[in-house]
Structure formats: C-alpha cells, structure tokens
C-alpha cells in the first residue's frame, strides 16, 4: 500500500516543498472523471517508488490557494517537484508507465 499524503493549503509547503525527497503531487477533484481514473494510477506508482519520492494529492476544493499558486487551470495535473521547485508537469490522464518514466527523469 502507498503512503500518499492528503495535501491542502495548510500542509503543502511543509510536506512537499520542505521535504528531503523529490515530490509528485496530483491535483484533482472527485467530480472529474479523468481524475477518478488517474488517482489509482498515481497510487500504484507511489507504491512502486516508495522511498525515492514523496507523493501527495490535492483536492482543488480543499487546496485552492495551492492550485492557484501553481497555475492549475485544468485537472488532473501531476506536478513533479525537486528541491522545492517545479521540475515537470503532466496535464491530463497518463498511464502508469508514462508517469514512471517522467518520475525517472527527475530522480
């Protein structure tokens, strides 16, 4: 099982930007069909990458300030962070293989 952290405006900075590991953040909404499809893929990849990367999910209704700060205009979006800075961004649904490849590119 993966250790995906639920993120919001209050814990995003501490959990993701100040983390020792690179991070992957899924911005989603429960009412978005592509987000619903993306969440299990994200969780699968998090389990396969445990210890190498930190994973978190932001429900945009719970973290609107974080979403606005990163210019999240459509969802789902996976934001890849390294040393507290955006290293890459994936917009829309992607397969587990494609997500793993993007993650490998920043590790």
How far apart (Å, rounded) are the C-alpha atoms in residues 90 and 26? Answer: 9
Residue 38 pLDDT level (bands cut at 50, 70, 90): very high
- 35, 60, 75, 90: the catalytic one is 35
- Interacting residues of 29 by C-beta distance below 8 A, sequence separation 6+: 35, 59, 60, 61, 75
Residue 35 among the catalytic residues = yes
Is it the case that residue 4 has pLDDT exceeding 90? yes
Q: What is the DSSP string of 65-102?
A: HHHHHTT--SS-EEEEEETTEEEEEEES---HHHHHHH
Is it the case that residue 97 has pLDDT exceeding 80? yes
Residue 31 among the catalytic residues = no
- 32, 36, 48, 106: the catalytic one is 32
Is it the case that residue 78 has pLDDT exceeding 80? yes
pTM: 0.94
Is it the case that residue 21 has pLDDT exceeding 80? yes
Tokens of 23: 């991070």
């Amino acid at each position: 099982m993966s250790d995906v952290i639920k993120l919001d405006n209050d814990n995003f900075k501490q959990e993701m930007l100040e983390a020792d590991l690179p991070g992957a953040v899924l911005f989603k909404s429960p009412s978005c069909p592509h987000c619903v499809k993306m969440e299990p893929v994200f969780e699968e990849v998090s389990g396969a990458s445990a210890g190498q990367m930190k994973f978190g999910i932001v429900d945009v209704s719970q973290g609107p300030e974080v979403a606005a700060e990163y210019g999240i205009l459509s969802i789902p979006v996976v934001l890849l962070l390294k040393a507290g800075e955006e290293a890459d961004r994936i917009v829309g649904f992607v397969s587990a293989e494609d997500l793993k490849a993007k993650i490998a590119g920043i590790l």
